[in-house]
């Protein structure tokens, strides 16, 4: 480790920047994330640097560098095109014990600026010692995607309660285990979401429980798993899946997504298919309640979005009835995912000015819907769970006024490599051999936007 990583207190730091081009401007902007005072010396200054004229932390000096510019400085960035000047400033700075960084010249750097992920008071610095900047940017992107944007709130929260935890729990190990539970659990999620009052209440209960070796009640997260492709999960969904003690999942959660669940979490399948419910809805609701009361962090993983034909509202009502804390994490609903991956825009100025979602689930041999509201031109209608009732859907839409040649698409296994799209019209779709081969989950899209599929299809496997 050639470069020793260290964080410098910038409260009274005096920084000099020699040069005022765009490279120097980036160093200036970086330093202004801290309380440091910055002096910029250069005969010419770019517009970015000029914008900081009058800034309370910035002094702009319009002239060439002079040796006494280093007086009373703690660090200096050198960003000029004059190699001789850069080398001279490097030598002077070392003689005067001023930390020096000559931009893009690692041998003349006593320190280097790392790649920074700023979530103040949490700051993460990455460095390759100047040898692999592209790899560094790649790693930073990866970290940015998994570190919550609001983790700074968690830093402030930790500072607020640090002393209280020290007073309540004896020993470094006990305190470390407690904080790990907090950071990995429901309290951290509440803090990140800005629900401070709830978080502080739960923190108090958790600290009490830790002091008496009792486990507090857990929480339930209703998480939308999206239409199937794991790349379409939200960051928050993935984070919670990897924290869960218990995962209750349904039939529409793809195996690829289930693979991302924490390895040692208990996985409970509660999927439903036509006339075959592995567990009735009421029992699913109580299952979540009971697991949370045991102190478990429960993720209720649902295909698509929990609030769009996902019975999320019913499940929440049960949780409220039993005083179980919960949160909802939206997911990409099947209609949006299927349409996007099939190249069928749900709205289009030339085709559809509105879109409606409806359930095609059969009840007593019929589908009870407001057909007259659904059978409109210049509108897209998406039927969830509509494959079994497809003949009824086509018949009713024609009966209530849609032309029999209205385009219709069936999208099976949307967003996955097994995706299949069958198109036709209301009049002929049920007679197509390809339709007979389809199986759930299949989404039904009706409207003239379907005519754009052949032109806009970008995903269908095997298409050149």
Q: What pLDDT digit, counting tens, does each position of 48-74 carry?
A: 999 999 999 999 999 999 999 999 999
Residues in the chain: 464
Bridge partners, residue 412, by sequence: 420, 442
62: left (phi over 0), alpha (psi -120 to 50) or beta: beta
Tell me which residues are annotated as active site. 250, 272
- HEC readout, the chain: CCCCCCCCCCCCCEEEEECCCHHHHHHHHHHCCCCCEEEEECCCCCHHHHCCCCCCCEEEECCCCCHHHHCCCCEEEECCCCHHHHHHHHHHHHHCCCEEEECCCHHHCCCCCCEEEEECCEEEEECCCCCCHHHHHHHHHHHHHHCCCCHHHHHHHHHHHHHHHHHHCCCHHHHHHHHHHHHCCHHHHHHHCCCHHHHHHHHHHHHHHHHCCCCCCCEEEEEECECCCHHHCCHHHHHHHCCCCEEEECCCCCHHHHCCCCCCCEEEECCEECCEECCCHHHHHHHHHHHHHCCCEEEEEECECCCCCCCHHHHHHHHHHCCCCEEEECCCCHHHHHHHHCCCCCCECCCECCEEEEECCCECCECCCCHHHHCCCCCEEEEECCCCCHHHHHHHHHHCCCCCCCEEEEEECCCCCCCEEEEEECCCHHHCHHHHCCCCCEEEEECHHHHHHHHHCCCCCCCC
Distance CA 157, CA 111 (A): 32
Instruction: Give the residue from 387, 369, 356 showing the smallest Cα distance to 273.
Output: 387
Q: How confident is the model at residue 274 (pLDDT cuts 50, 70, 90)?
A: low
- Distance from CA of residue 178 to its chain's centroid? 26
CB 70 within 8 A of CB 96: yes
Q: What is the pLDDT of residues 103-114, one digit of tens each?
A: 988 889 999 888
* Domains 14-113 and 335-456 equal at CATH topology level: no
Q: Is the pLDDT of residue 463 over 70?
A: no
Query: At residue 464, does pLDDT exceed 60?
Result: no
Q: What is the pLDDT of residue 365?
A: 55
Which of 19, 35, 177 lies closest to 85 in space, CA to CA?
19
Query: What's the pLDDT score for residue 176?
Result: 80
Q: Please, what is the Cα angle at 48 between 46 and 50, to 5 degrees?
A: 70
With CA atoms as reference, report the closest residue to 450 among 382, 362, 391, 384.
382
Tell me whether the omega of the peptide bond preceding residue 441 falls within 30 degrees of 0, making it cis.
yes
pLDDT value at 356 more than 90:
yes
| Residue 456 reports pLDDT greater than 90 | yes
Q: Is the pLDDT of residue 252 over 70?
A: yes
Q: Strands 122-126 and 115-119, how do they pair?
A: antiparallel
Q: What's 11-51 look like in SS3?
A: CCCEEEEECCCHHHHHHHHHHCCCCCEEEEECCCCCHHHHC
Identify the band that residue 427 occupies on the pLDDT scale cut at 50, 70 and 90: very high
Q: Could you tell me if 342 and 409 are in contact, meaning their C-beta atoms sit under 8 angstroms apart? A: yes
Encode pLDDT of 149-167 as tens digits.
Answer: 788 898 899 999 999 999 9
CATH topology of domain 217-332: Cobalt-precorrin-4 Transmethylase; domain 1 (3.40.1010)
Q: What is the pLDDT of residues 180-193, one digit of tens each?
A: 788 878 888 889 88
Can you give the residue ranges of every domain in the chain?
14-113, 148-216, 217-332, 335-456
Q: What CATH number has the domain spanning 14-113?
A: 3.40.50.720
pLDDT at site 277: 53
**8 Ramachandran zone, left/alpha/beta (phi>0; psi -120 to 50):** beta
- Report the distance separating Cα 314 and Cα 300, nearest Å: 13
Q: What is the CATH number of domain 335-456?
A: 3.30.950.10
Bridge partners of residue 44, in order along the sequence: none
Note whether 270 and 278 are within 8 A (CB): yes
- Phi (first) and psi of residue 459, to 5 degrees: -115, -30
Q: With contact defined as beta carbons under 8 Å apart, do 77 and 16 qualify?
A: yes
Phi, psi angle pair for 21, to nearest 5°: -85, -170
By CB atoms closer than 10 A (0-12, 13-18, 19+), residue 337 is buried
Question: In this predicted model, which residue has the larger pLDDT, 131 or 375?
Answer: 375
- Mean pLDDT of the region 62-90: 96
Q: What is the mean pLDDT of residues 363-371?
A: 75
pLDDT cut 70: percent of the chain above it: 97
Range scoring the smallest mean pLDDT among 7-21, 108-122, 269-283, 354-368 = 269-283
Residue 404 has pLDDT above 90, yes or no: yes
CA distance 402 to 377: 7
| Residues 112-141, mean pLDDT to the nearest whole number | 84
**pLDDT value at position 362?**
61
What is the Cα–Cα distance from 311 to 302, expressed in whole angstroms?
A: 9
Per-residue pLDDT tens digits for 284-306: 999 999 999 988 889 999 999 99
Report in angstroms the alpha-carbon separations of 409 from 155, 301, 455: 50, 27, 14
Instruction: Work out the average pLDDT over 10-36.
Output: 95
Note the pLDDT of residue 260: 93
In angstroms, how far is the first alpha carbon of the chain from the final one?
49
- 8-17, 357-366, 442-451: which range is least confident on average? 357-366
pLDDT of residue 322: 95
């Amino acid at each position: 480790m050639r470069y020793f990583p260290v964080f410098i207190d910038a409260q009274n730091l005096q920084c000099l920047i020699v040069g005022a081009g765009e490279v120097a401007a980036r160093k200036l902007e970086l330093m202004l994330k801290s309380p440091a005072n910055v002096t910029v010396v250069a005969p010419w200054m770019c517009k970015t640097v000029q914008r900081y004229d009058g800034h309370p932390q910035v002094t702009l000096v319009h002239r060439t560098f002079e040796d006494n510019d280093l007086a009373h400085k703690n660090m200096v960035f050198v960003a000029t095109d004059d190699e001789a000047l850069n080398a001279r400033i490097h030598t002077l700075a070392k003689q005067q014990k001023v930390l020096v960084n000559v931009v893009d010249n690692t041998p003349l750097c006593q320190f280097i600026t790392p790649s920074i992920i700023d979530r103040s008071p949490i700051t993460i610095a990455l460095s390759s010692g100047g040898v692999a900047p592209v790899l560094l940017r790649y790693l930073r992107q990866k970290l940015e995607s998994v570190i919550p944007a609001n983790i700074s709130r968690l830093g402030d929260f930790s500072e607020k309660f640090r002393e209280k935890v020290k007073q309540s729990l004896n020993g470094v190990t006990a305190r470390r285990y407690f904080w790990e539970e907090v950071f990995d659990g429901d309290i951290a999620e509440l803090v990140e979401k800005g629900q401070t009052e709830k978080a502080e209440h739960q923190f108090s209960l958790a600290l009490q429980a830790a002091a008496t070796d009792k486990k507090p009640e857990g929480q339930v997260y209703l998480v939308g798993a999206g239409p199937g492709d794991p790349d379409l999960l939200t960051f928050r969904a993935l984070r919670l899946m990897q924290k869960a003690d218990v995962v209750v999942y349904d039939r529409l959660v793809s195996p690829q997504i289930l693979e991302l669940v924490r390895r040692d979490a208990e996985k409970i399948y509660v999927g439903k298919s036509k006339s075959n419910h592995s567990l009735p809805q009421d029992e699913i609701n109580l299952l979540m309640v009971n697991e949370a009361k045991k102190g478990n962090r429960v993720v209720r993983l649902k295909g698509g979005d929990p609030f769009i034909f996902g019975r999320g509202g019913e499940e929440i009502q049960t949780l409220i009835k039993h005083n179980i804390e919960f949160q909802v994490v939206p997911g990409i609903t099947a209609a949006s995912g299927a349409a996007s991956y099939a190249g069928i825009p749900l709205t289009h100025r030339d085709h559809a000015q509105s879109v409606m979602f409806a359930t095609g689930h059969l009840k007593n041999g019929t589908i009870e819907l407001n057909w007259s509201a659904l059978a409109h031109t210049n509108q897209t209608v998406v039927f969830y769970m509509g494959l079994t009732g497809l003949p009824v859907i086509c018949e009713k839409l024609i009966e209530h006024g849609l032309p029999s040649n209205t385009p219709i698409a069936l999208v099976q296994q949307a967003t996955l490599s097994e995706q299949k799209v069958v198109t036709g019209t209301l009049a002929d779709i049920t007679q197509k051999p390809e339709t007979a081969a389809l199986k759930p989950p299949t989404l039904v899209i009706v409207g003239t936007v379907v005519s754009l599929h052949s032109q806009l299809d970008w995903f269908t496997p095997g298409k050149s």
